Amino acid sequence: MPYALIQAFQNGKEPLAFSFLNSPKMTRAKIGESIARRIRAPETINQQSAPLCGPAAFMYCLASAHPWHYARYAIDLMTHGEARIGQLHIKPSAQCRHADIGSAIEATDWVTLASLRDASNGVLSMSGPGSSIAGITGANTMAAWFEQSGLFTQVDNLAQYHPASLERLLAADLQANMGRYVCLLVRAAVLGAVAGEVPMPKLNGMPRTLLGTPDHWIVMHEPMGLGPSCYNSARPDVVDMLKKKKLSFKVYSWGGISTVNERIHDLNVERFLPYFYGCVSASAV
């Protein structure tokens, strides 16, 4: 475990590369403990109100599978202003390093999440927690992070930008059953109330949003429990049976582990599919 790295960081004296880490309220002891807490419980990595669900999903997987590399990454960013994870060279802009984050997100999460997102952007900078467009993470970028880190293998990108099929949902469940890290691309309204919901009666008990596009990455904490099936799209009875199956599997999202049906208690496959846009998955090396 990387606690020796953290202790060495806590004993350091030089100024840190992110301006808010040098404020009187911050100490190396507190910062080191925040890194250790995320290693002990990766689900505490939390984007809060910042548009950083993609980096949060990736960092949850990294801290879960490779805690030493997560700690090394965080500490190198804090002390040097840049870091490497395999072939990924993360060097955030000055705007990112000197952002005014206030209470919108914890310092350690801004450093690790915003830096990854900022370094992957061609033009836009993560200049603060309100940088909504700069914070968007596409499926190709998510897959590239897994591939270029060198810490995951068999990366599979099954995400798209219109609702995905039953076959892709079954594929995500199968991959989770195989012990792979599975990041689902969804519309967040299925999990909880979000900005942009239409104040109208719900459609079939489901929330409506202004845009029918994906806006959130979550990570499967356990399989969906759909079970093995002889799926055949030419068998309407089998398709109907699968679509009626209830969903209550656990996911990582917004700094915690929750069940996918906490908002829609009678959530089933058929209701979930319009909010599901596929997945990016990988196996830990």
Structure confidence at residue 134 (pLDDT): 84
Residue 81 CB coordination number (10 Å): 18
Kindly report, residue by residue over 144-176, the tens digit of the pLDDT: 999 999 999 999 999 999 999 999 999 999 999
Mean predicted lDDT score pLDDT of the chain: 93
Tell me the range of 18-27, 120-129, 194-203 where mean pLDDT is highest: 18-27
**Facing residues of 83 across strands?**
90
Kindly report, residue by residue over 189-237, the tens digit of the pLDDT: 999 988 778 876 555 778 888 888 999 999 999 999 987 656 666 678 8
The DSSP secondary structure of the chain, one letter per residue, reads -THHHHHHHHT--SPPSSGGGGSTT--HHHHHHHHHHHHH-GGG---TTSS-HHHHHHHHHHHHH-HHHHHHHHHHHHHHS-EEETTEEE---HHHHT---TTSS-HHHIIIIIHHHHHT-SS----STT-TTTT---HHHHHHHHHHHSSEEEEEE---SSPPPHHHHHHHHHHHHTT-EEEEEE-GGGTS--TTB-SS--BTTB--BS--S--EEEEESS----------TT-HHHHHHHHT-B---EEEETTEEEETTSSSTT-BHHHHGGGEEEEEEEEE-
Structure confidence at residue 37 (pLDDT): 98
pTM assigned to the model: 0.94
CA distances from 278 to 164, 167, 206, 247, 252 (A): 6, 10, 19, 16, 16
Which residue ranges make up each domain of the chain?
Answer: 3-119, 139-284
Asked whether residue 61 carries a pLDDT value surpassing 60, the answer given is: yes
